[in-house]
Structure 1
Amino acid sequence: MTYYSDILKDIQKQGNFRTIPKGGSTGYVDFSTNDYMGLGEREDLRSDFFSDEHNRLIPLTSSASRLLASRQDEHFRLEEMMSQLYRRDILLFNSGYHANTGIISAIAGQGTFIIADKLSHASIIDGIILSRAPFTRFRHNDYNHLESIIKQNIDRYERLLVITESIFSMDGDSCDIAVLAALKQKYPSVQLYVDEAHAFGVCGPQGLGLAKASPYYEAVDIIVGTFGKAAASCGAFTAVSPVIKSFLINKSRSFIFSTALPPLNSAWTRFIVNKLISMDAERAKVYRLSCRLAEALGSTQQHSHIAPLITGDAVKAVKLSEKLLSSGYKALPIRTPTVPAGTERLRFSISAAMNDSDITGLKKALSAL
């Protein structure tokens, strides 16, 4: 046990020791939430959902994987609805982590070289490692660097899998779908994989993300989205071709060997997404508040509903977070290994449940520190 204790002591010394936060969700304004559309606390939506007797009778467990489970109706209905929205086949996963690890490790077979954005999420990196495919990473959103890597490897591999996020979870900036599509057109062996975890529900027409909103939508081969953030539920999905869906059903280990999502959750997700796609007013509010948040943080460029305040030091990030919480504003510290050393920060995010006064209050609290 000394081995583990020594490692924990070192983590504490560096200011990177983590514990699971305690306490309820009241008494402060939560700027650490991923509930971007403010649906997670909507009691009226839960009451509406459970007022339907059919929903109250839906099982709370699948008891088996999708390949074995007897109760599949709710999963199929959710996939069919999402397929109509994306005009592609849809396959559900238990989480964004399950999706990225399962999809990447399945599709990156022999003859594949992976090129991922330097700031890609840990689940993407883990999927790459599980694939055992050769890989490298390009400098964040540096498409000249990406193209130079493509040129170096285009004749060495059958497929080049380029992976990025549409909106990056820690910086709030976005990829350029148009540039990525142009690279794919120039180099036909390139496949594009875009993780929309932090865009789904809150960005683009009907909240379907940046790829679907782009005129270059068809150039993106694989889209991943999650239901556990703006959609106030759990699970994830991928929007792909029929061939890729069938391939994943047969080769994706996180899909094959995981007990499926509870049918009740798939029914709830379908209920929420049906509401979510028409919430343009709430999406406009999130954008407006995001602009105000960028101003409050002294940012010269407003990217999205996510904005960082860089401290560059883990201890400073923790102390600043504690001081803000005592003033009634929750913004959790983000430290290594979630972000590179030297870029420790507080991560702020906007919810449609917030108001202008919340941003004004945060700005005053920050100025008083």
Structure 2
Amino acid sequence: MRRLLAAGAAVLLTLPALAEVDTAAAARDAAERLAAAGERLAGAGEGATERIEALSETVRAYEEGLTALREGLRRVAIRQQSLEAELAGQEEDLSELLATLQTMARAPAPMLLLHPNGPLGTARGGLLAADVAPAIQARVDALKEDLQELSELRALQDSAAGTLAEGLEGAQEARAALAEAAQNREDLPRRFTEDPVRTALLVASTETLDAFAGGLAETVDRELRNIIPDATQRKGTLRLPVEGRVIRGAGEADASGVQRPGIIVATPPRALVTSPAAATIRFRGPLLDYGNVLILEPAPDVLMIFAGLAESFGEAGQVVPEGAPIGLMGGETPGVDAILTETRAGGGANRSETLYLEVREGQAPVDPAGWFDIGQ
């Protein structure tokens, strides 16, 4: 009996209680964000400005909600795997503890009071039992909590499919509505009208981005009014135009050894790209090997170049406000099954698309980190 009690005490010493972590909170918060995004989408007005603002907020809400849900599910999956691994690792010790408790339960009550070494041994055994019993009960209670948490985590993952499906469908609907509204927008003020012939000739004849930027002034047909946004005072504080993470800084070589003066931002598929400041659209269209390009002028003689967009909005000469949608990234949003598989494997948010962002002052490129709060 003393050996069995000693074995039980050893089990307790080698099995620390698992830490409490509310991993489900992020997923619950994400579900609330997605529900609020759906309400915004349903309440988007019919006026051009109001509808575009509402749809932009809706798309952002869906993006934030889906990102939060994926992060919540990732944490849930990690916690679930940790619990399963720890419980599996404790199986042998728990079996020994269970055998100890079963042996004690089968022994007649009078026998528990006897000890081969006589009354002194019986007294010592009773003291040991009194010391170990509360610890055994505490470990049993902790084990129950772990098993209950594991059951809740599994149920949360199973129920996430419906929330994900609704969120993905809502985000797709909101992006489509936003693209349509932004493409047909006619209420923006104009700084100039574009000469499409000169623009086409410049695109066809230019061989470098430097040359193209230097020739942009030739594409202006006529100036309409002196509306020149100036974001100079906000240098270093502008938010990145898209939800993502900078994966290559200015001047860093890519896998092919090519160096460019801009930064590369990894983004989720179909992410919304917005104007980081009030600015004039100077160019929109395909350019060189940069793909679909949009160029903004947020201050006199300052150009911000965005390349890699799947869709871009607006027309050259229009003045867009800060936060206005200027495009969408490409790619295919993964389906529910792919997201759940990804999170169960411990993967984070999928950032399969890349946005190239370059800033030019005068005729020379500068490090975008001097304008944007990159926050790496």
**Normalising by the residue count of structure 2, what TM-score does the alignment of the two structures yield?**
0.19
Larger Cα-atom Rg: 2
- Greater per-residue helix proportion: 2
By relative contact order (CA 8 Å, sep 6+), the higher-ranking structure is: 1
